[in-house]
Protein backbone atom coordinates (compact mmCIF):
# COMPACT_ATOMS: atom_id res chain seq x y z
CA UNK A 1 0.00 0.00 0.00
CA UNK A 2 1.35 3.42 -0.97
CA UNK A 3 0.91 6.21 1.57
CA UNK A 4 0.56 9.82 0.49
CA UNK A 5 3.17 11.62 2.56
CA UNK A 6 2.53 15.05 1.03
CA UNK A 7 1.38 16.67 4.33
CA UNK A 8 4.63 15.85 6.14
CA UNK A 9 7.08 15.69 3.22
CA UNK A 10 7.99 19.42 3.33
CA UNK A 11 9.37 18.93 6.86
CA UNK A 12 11.49 15.83 6.28
CA UNK A 13 14.58 17.75 5.17
CA UNK A 14 14.25 19.93 8.26
CA UNK A 15 14.19 16.82 10.45
CA UNK A 16 17.36 15.53 8.78
CA UNK A 17 18.93 18.94 9.36
CA UNK A 18 18.28 18.65 13.08
CA UNK A 19 14.79 19.99 13.69
CA UNK A 20 13.58 18.16 16.83
CA UNK A 21 11.04 15.39 16.38
CA UNK A 22 8.87 14.07 19.20
CA UNK A 23 6.61 11.03 18.86
CA UNK A 24 3.82 9.96 21.19
CA UNK A 25 2.62 6.38 20.80
CA UNK A 26 -0.42 4.63 22.21
CA UNK A 27 -2.11 1.26 22.33
CA UNK A 28 -2.88 1.21 18.61
CA UNK A 29 0.80 0.65 17.87
CA UNK A 30 0.96 -2.43 20.10
CA UNK A 31 -2.40 -3.68 18.84
CA UNK A 32 -0.65 -4.40 15.55
CA UNK A 33 1.50 -6.88 17.49
CA UNK A 34 -1.63 -8.64 18.71
CA UNK A 35 -1.92 -7.01 22.13
CA UNK A 36 -5.46 -6.14 23.28
CA UNK A 37 -6.23 -2.49 23.84
CA UNK A 38 -7.95 -1.17 26.94
CA UNK A 39 -10.56 0.72 25.00
CA UNK A 40 -11.15 -1.59 22.07
CA UNK A 41 -13.70 -4.37 21.76
CA UNK A 42 -10.98 -6.86 22.75
CA UNK A 43 -10.23 -5.13 26.04
CA UNK A 44 -12.67 -7.04 28.25
CA UNK A 45 -11.07 -9.60 30.59
CA UNK A 46 -13.11 -12.29 32.36
CA UNK A 47 -16.19 -10.08 32.19
CA UNK A 48 -14.35 -7.11 33.70
CA UNK A 49 -13.35 -3.83 32.15
CA UNK A 50 -9.61 -3.25 32.57
CA UNK A 51 -10.41 0.27 33.81
CA UNK A 52 -12.07 -1.38 36.82
CA UNK A 53 -9.03 -3.54 37.57
CA UNK A 54 -6.13 -1.16 36.96
CA UNK A 55 -6.72 0.95 40.05
CA UNK A 56 -5.22 1.14 43.56
CA UNK A 57 -8.70 0.50 44.95
CA UNK A 58 -9.11 -2.73 42.98
CA UNK A 59 -5.68 -3.91 44.13
CA UNK A 60 -6.52 -3.21 47.77
CA UNK A 61 -9.89 -4.95 47.43
CA UNK A 62 -8.82 -8.05 45.50
CA UNK A 63 -5.08 -8.28 44.77
CA UNK A 64 -5.36 -11.84 43.49
CA UNK A 65 -7.88 -10.86 40.84
CA UNK A 66 -5.76 -7.89 39.76
CA UNK A 67 -2.67 -10.09 39.53
CA UNK A 68 -4.55 -12.72 37.51
CA UNK A 69 -5.40 -9.95 35.03
CA UNK A 70 -1.79 -8.79 34.86
CA UNK A 71 -0.42 -12.29 34.49
CA UNK A 72 -2.79 -12.72 31.52
CA UNK A 73 -1.50 -9.47 30.05
CA UNK A 74 2.10 -10.51 30.62
CA UNK A 75 1.58 -13.78 28.80
CA UNK A 76 0.33 -11.76 25.83
CA UNK A 77 3.36 -9.47 26.00
CA UNK A 78 5.84 -12.35 26.30
CA UNK A 79 4.42 -13.83 23.10
CA UNK A 80 4.33 -10.53 21.19
CA UNK A 81 6.97 -9.25 18.79
CA UNK A 82 7.69 -5.69 17.64
CA UNK A 83 5.90 -4.81 14.43
CA UNK A 84 6.93 -2.61 11.52
CA UNK A 85 5.89 0.55 13.38
CA UNK A 86 8.13 -0.24 16.36
CA UNK A 87 11.03 -1.02 14.03
CA UNK A 88 10.49 2.16 12.00
CA UNK A 89 10.54 4.30 15.14
CA UNK A 90 13.78 2.68 16.29
CA UNK A 91 15.22 3.38 12.83
CA UNK A 92 14.08 7.01 13.01
CA UNK A 93 15.77 7.36 16.38
CA UNK A 94 19.03 6.13 14.87
CA UNK A 95 18.68 8.51 11.92
CA UNK A 96 17.57 11.61 13.81
CA UNK A 97 19.65 12.57 16.87
CA UNK A 98 17.03 15.13 17.88
CA UNK A 99 14.19 12.60 18.25
CA UNK A 100 12.34 11.81 21.46
CA UNK A 101 10.01 8.82 21.74
CA UNK A 102 7.24 9.06 24.33
CA UNK A 103 4.94 6.11 24.90
CA UNK A 104 1.79 5.38 26.85
CA UNK A 105 2.39 1.67 26.31
CA UNK A 106 3.70 -0.55 29.10
CA UNK A 107 4.84 -3.57 27.04
CA UNK A 108 8.46 -2.54 26.28
CA UNK A 109 8.05 -3.45 22.60
CA UNK A 110 9.75 -0.19 21.65
CA UNK A 111 12.82 -1.33 23.57
CA UNK A 112 12.63 -4.77 21.98
CA UNK A 113 12.67 -3.10 18.56
CA UNK A 114 15.82 -1.17 19.39
CA UNK A 115 14.61 2.17 20.76
CA UNK A 116 17.16 3.15 23.38
CA UNK A 117 15.49 5.68 25.65
CA UNK A 118 11.71 5.74 25.32
CA UNK A 119 9.94 7.87 27.89
CA UNK A 120 7.50 5.39 29.45
CA UNK A 121 4.76 7.62 30.80
CA UNK A 122 2.76 4.75 32.26
CA UNK A 123 5.63 2.56 33.42
CA UNK A 124 6.27 -1.03 32.36
CA UNK A 125 4.27 -4.20 32.86
CA UNK A 126 7.58 -6.05 32.64
CA UNK A 127 8.75 -4.73 36.00
CA UNK A 128 7.42 -5.21 39.54
CA UNK A 129 7.33 -2.63 42.30
CA UNK A 130 6.96 -3.32 46.00
CA UNK A 131 3.95 -1.59 47.53
CA UNK A 132 5.91 -1.35 50.79
CA UNK A 133 9.58 -0.51 50.30
CA UNK A 134 9.21 0.62 46.67
CA UNK A 135 12.01 -1.52 45.21
CA UNK A 136 11.62 -2.14 41.47
CA UNK A 137 12.66 -5.46 39.92
CA UNK A 138 12.30 -7.12 36.49
CA UNK A 139 9.33 -9.45 36.15
CA UNK A 140 10.38 -13.10 36.54
CA UNK A 141 9.74 -14.22 32.95
CA UNK A 142 7.13 -16.76 34.01
CA UNK A 143 3.93 -16.69 36.06
CA UNK A 144 4.37 -16.33 39.81
CA UNK A 145 3.78 -19.62 41.66
CA UNK A 146 1.52 -17.84 44.16
CA UNK A 147 -0.64 -14.74 43.97
CA UNK A 148 -0.32 -12.07 45.12
CA UNK A 149 3.50 -12.19 45.00
CA UNK A 150 5.35 -10.78 47.98
CA UNK A 151 8.53 -8.72 48.19
CA UNK A 152 11.58 -10.75 49.20
CA UNK A 153 13.00 -7.73 50.97
CA UNK A 154 10.12 -6.58 53.18
CA UNK A 155 7.26 -9.05 52.66
CA UNK A 156 4.78 -6.48 51.31
CA UNK A 157 2.73 -7.15 48.18
CA UNK A 158 4.34 -6.65 44.80
CA UNK A 159 2.43 -4.79 42.11
CA UNK A 160 3.19 -4.17 38.43
CA UNK A 161 5.37 -1.09 37.93
CA UNK A 162 2.66 0.72 35.99
CA UNK A 163 0.59 3.85 36.51
CA UNK A 164 -2.96 2.92 37.44
CA UNK A 165 -6.04 5.02 36.89
CA UNK A 166 -6.15 7.70 39.56
CA UNK A 167 -2.37 7.76 40.07
CA UNK A 168 0.09 10.49 39.12
CA UNK A 169 2.56 9.96 36.30
CA UNK A 170 6.23 9.64 37.30
CA UNK A 171 7.40 13.23 37.75
CA UNK A 172 10.58 12.93 35.72
CA UNK A 173 8.92 11.08 32.84
CA UNK A 174 6.21 13.72 32.58
CA UNK A 175 8.70 16.59 32.78
CA UNK A 176 10.84 15.03 30.03
CA UNK A 177 7.78 14.42 27.84
CA UNK A 178 6.53 17.95 28.30
CA UNK A 179 9.96 19.37 27.50
CA UNK A 180 10.13 17.26 24.34
CA UNK A 181 6.70 18.51 23.22
CA UNK A 182 7.62 22.13 23.90
CA UNK A 183 10.92 21.94 22.00
CA UNK A 184 9.72 19.83 19.07
CA UNK A 185 9.51 21.12 15.55
CA UNK A 186 7.40 18.16 14.45
CA UNK A 187 5.20 16.14 16.79
CA UNK A 188 3.65 12.81 15.76
CA UNK A 189 0.64 11.41 17.64
CA UNK A 190 0.56 7.72 16.73
CA UNK A 191 -2.03 5.07 17.56
CA UNK A 192 -3.53 6.77 20.59
CA UNK A 193 -7.12 7.69 21.41
CA UNK A 194 -5.88 11.06 22.74
CA UNK A 195 -8.35 10.93 25.62
CA UNK A 196 -6.21 9.68 28.54
CA UNK A 197 -4.92 12.67 30.49
CA UNK A 198 -2.38 14.05 30.93
CA UNK A 199 -0.67 12.34 27.96
CA UNK A 200 -3.51 13.54 25.74
CA UNK A 201 -2.42 17.13 26.33
CA UNK A 202 1.03 16.70 24.80
CA UNK A 203 -0.18 17.30 21.26
CA UNK A 204 -1.86 20.51 22.39
CA UNK A 205 1.28 21.58 24.26
CA UNK A 206 3.34 20.99 21.11
CA UNK A 207 0.89 22.81 18.86
CA UNK A 208 0.74 25.85 21.16
CA UNK A 209 4.54 25.96 21.14
CA UNK A 210 4.54 26.15 17.34
CA UNK A 211 5.28 22.52 16.51
CA UNK A 212 3.79 20.91 13.41
CA UNK A 213 1.48 18.16 14.71
CA UNK A 214 0.58 15.11 12.64
CA UNK A 215 -1.80 12.32 13.59
CA UNK A 216 -1.40 8.69 12.53
CA UNK A 217 -4.52 6.78 13.45
CA UNK A 218 -7.22 4.92 11.49
CA UNK A 219 -9.89 7.00 13.23
CA UNK A 220 -10.07 10.70 14.04
CA UNK A 221 -9.36 11.64 17.66
CA UNK A 222 -9.64 14.90 19.62
CA UNK A 223 -6.14 15.83 18.40
CA UNK A 224 -7.30 15.95 14.75
CA UNK A 225 -8.38 19.64 14.72
CA UNK A 226 -4.85 20.64 15.80
CA UNK A 227 -3.09 18.48 13.23
CA UNK A 228 -1.23 19.84 10.24
CA UNK A 229 -2.10 16.55 8.57
CA UNK A 230 -3.72 13.23 9.42
CA UNK A 231 -2.95 9.75 8.13
CA UNK A 232 -6.03 7.56 8.41
CA UNK A 233 -4.26 4.24 8.32
CA UNK A 234 -2.11 2.11 10.59
CA UNK A 235 1.23 3.14 12.03
CA UNK A 236 2.88 0.12 10.41
CA UNK A 237 1.86 1.51 7.01
CA UNK A 238 2.89 5.13 7.52
CA UNK A 239 6.05 5.04 9.63
CA UNK A 240 8.12 2.76 7.34
CA UNK A 241 7.16 5.07 4.44
CA UNK A 242 8.48 8.06 6.40
CA UNK A 243 11.73 6.16 7.01
CA UNK A 244 12.07 5.37 3.32
CA UNK A 245 11.36 8.99 2.36
CA UNK A 246 14.03 10.23 4.75
CA UNK A 247 16.54 7.70 3.47
CA UNK A 248 15.97 8.80 -0.12
CA UNK A 249 15.91 12.56 0.50
Q: What are phi and psi of 232, to 5 degrees?
A: -90, 60
Contact 190, 156 (CB under 8 A): no
**Is 110 considered catalytic here?**
no
Return d(Cα 36, Cα 76) in angstroms, integer: 8
HEC assignment per residue over 150-216:
ECCCCCCEEEEEECCCCCCCCHHHHHHHHHHHHHCCEEEEECCCCCCCCHHHHHHHHHHCCCEEEEE
DSSP string, 92-112: HHHH-TTEEEEE---S-HHHH
Alpha-carbon distance of 12 to 112, in angstroms, equals: 26
Per-residue exposure over 23-34, b if at least 16 CB sit within 10 Å of its own CB, e if not: bbbbbbbbbbbe
Measured CA distances, 84 to 16, 112, 147, 221, 235 (Å): 21, 12, 35, 22, 8
Distance CA(65)–CA(143), nearest Å, equals: 14
- Per annotation, catalytic residue among 74, 110, 122, 129: 122
Annotated catalytic sites, by residue? 122
Amino acid sequence: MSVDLSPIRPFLDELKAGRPLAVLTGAGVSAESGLPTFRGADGLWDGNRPEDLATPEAFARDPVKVWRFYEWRREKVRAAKPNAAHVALATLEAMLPQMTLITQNVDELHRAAGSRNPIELHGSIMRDRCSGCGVVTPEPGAPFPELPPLCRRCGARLRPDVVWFGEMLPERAWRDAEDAALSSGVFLVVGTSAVVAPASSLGLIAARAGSRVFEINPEATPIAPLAEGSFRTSASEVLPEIVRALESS
